[in-house]
Amino acid sequence: MNVSRFGQKIASTSGIGRLMEDLGNAMSQSSNTLMLGGGNPAHIPEVQKYFRDSIEKLLRDGSAFEKAIGNYDPPSGNIEFIEAVAKLLQKEYGWNIKSKNIALTNGSQIAFFILFNIFAGTYKDKTEKKILFPLTPEYIGYCDVGMTDDFFIAQKPVIEHEDEQIFKYHIDFENLKIDKSIGAVCVSRPTNPSGNVLTDHEIDRLSRLASANNIPLIIDNAYGLPFPNIIFTEIKSIWNENIILCLSLSKLGLPSARTGIILANEEIIDMVSKVNAVMSLAPGGMGPVITTDLIKTGQIISLSRNIIRPFYHNKAKISLELAIRELNGIKFHIHKPQGTFFLWLWFPELPITDTRLYENLKQKNVLVVPGNYFFPGLKENWPHKNQCIRVNYSQDSAIFRKGIKIIAEEVKIAYNV
């Protein structure tokens, strides 16, 4: 079948497509698969109880349910929800943010498709601009959202070894170049896949560099502050007219609601809203309806701080200890888990590729994500790209315990230990 270049590109085999296919099959079928891949959040009872109560209240409240499922929202999203988010951020951080600075999308993936293609690609004057990732590895979902080829450029990190097992990525500002070929700078904080958290100094420096070059700094805040607050180190949140801050309800515990939240200046929000109208008429409304009261009361802050954050922090500690114990006897490193719900495992001089390791583990009913998908825009043939895997520890601890044991056994076979 003959299709356009866009059809060939968008419908080709992709890392995110492979990831979601594995995730969907494992989560929807009764199987013995140990799900250590994907980005599905945990089913935290206290959080799910709130969502259940909210839906039950909606069903009891006159015609509220019928309005929620039967009416379109504006292209920018649910007005009541947006106003609640603006007031929450004004109160929490003192930001000069208004409803006109916020738009919703059908999930963060659509948000980045819109934003990246607004700022990168072919411009009116025929120049080509790219999205710069100043630190890589970065989120797998970014890789294939560009409408044109050669859409990203990435910077290798500085690697700091804190001890024999634990390391951390830092931005290599000495070699970071921003010129007229860059349309926007993008980072995730905390970083998916590594669990890295860029320091306040790094974010401040990036913000100043972006502003000096008259381009936006996009911060993917899907796991960050103020919700869901899956972040284990103290940082400050930042937003200004030159920063595009992207939040989500997914990691709060509502991935199927597909609710992305974009904070930006009014001109950008207006563009996002117009794209929403073309692509989907309006964002879906169930996520906002379920969580509006949670945001209005500020309970979303306490729920994130007192329930969600400690839940994942405890899992991170336990999972790190298990991984270090099981991997004993081989050369390995683990990125310092500062946020998200992933461990990023690095096996220097691994005799097989990360993809081969992924396939071997899949044969043993363990799903992880091979690391090479997390380096969008990095043209250099860096061996590190094929020596890492991402492991999700959000599910039941017994599943992680079994899975990490099989991972260790398979890696030891590869190393011939």
Tell me: do 275 and 314 sit in the same domain: no
Which residues share a beta bridge with 217? 185, 243
Tell me: do 279 and 214 sit in the same domain: yes
Euclidean distance between CA atoms 370 and 344, whole angstroms: 10
* Inside any domain, residue 53: no
**What pLDDT score was predicted for residue 14?**
57
**What pLDDT score was predicted for residue 150?**
86
**What pLDDT score was predicted for residue 64?**
87
* Inside any domain, residue 59: no
Mark out the alpha helices in 284-396 (DSSP H runs). Answer: 286-296, 299-303, 309-326, 354-363
Nearest to residue 92, comparing CAs of 198, 218, 237, 229? 237
* 309 φ/ψ angles, rounded to the nearest 5 degrees: -60, -50
Of 234, 264, 297, which marks where a domain is finished?
297
**What pLDDT score was predicted for residue 93?**
96
Of 238, 266, 297, which marks where a domain is finished?
297
Tell me: do 268 and 141 sit in the same domain: yes
Q: Are 222 and 246 in contact (CB under 8 A)?
A: yes
CB atoms near residue 149 (< 10 Å): 9
**What pLDDT score was predicted for residue 401?**
96
* Inside any domain, residue 58: no
pLDDT tens digits, one per residue of 237-268: 999 999 999 999 999 999 999 999 999 999 99
**What pLDDT score was predicted for residue 325?**
96
Tell me: do 292 and 324 sit in the same domain: no
pTM: 0.93
Judging by beta carbons within 10 Å of its beta carbon (0-12, 13-18, 19+), is residue 415 exposed, middle or buried? middle
Tell me: do 250 and 374 sit in the same domain: no
Tell me: do 261 and 405 sit in the same domain: no
**What pLDDT score was predicted for residue 17?**
61
Tell me: do 259 and 195 sit in the same domain: yes
Domain containing 221 — which CATH number? 3.40.640.10
Euclidean distance between CA atoms 263 and 215, whole angstroms: 16
**What pLDDT score was predicted for residue 15?**
56
Of 297, 321, 352, which marks where a domain is finished?
297
Tell me: do 29 and 83 sit in the same domain: no
Domain containing 36 — which CATH number? 3.90.1150.10
Chunked into runs of 10 residues, the chain (417 residues) has average pLDDT values of: 71 60 58 87 96 94 88 95 98 96 96 96 93 97 86 96 96 96 97 97 97 98 97 95 97 95 98 96 94 96 97 97 95 97 96 96 94 94 96 93 96 90
* 53 φ/ψ angles, rounded to the nearest 5 degrees: -60, -40
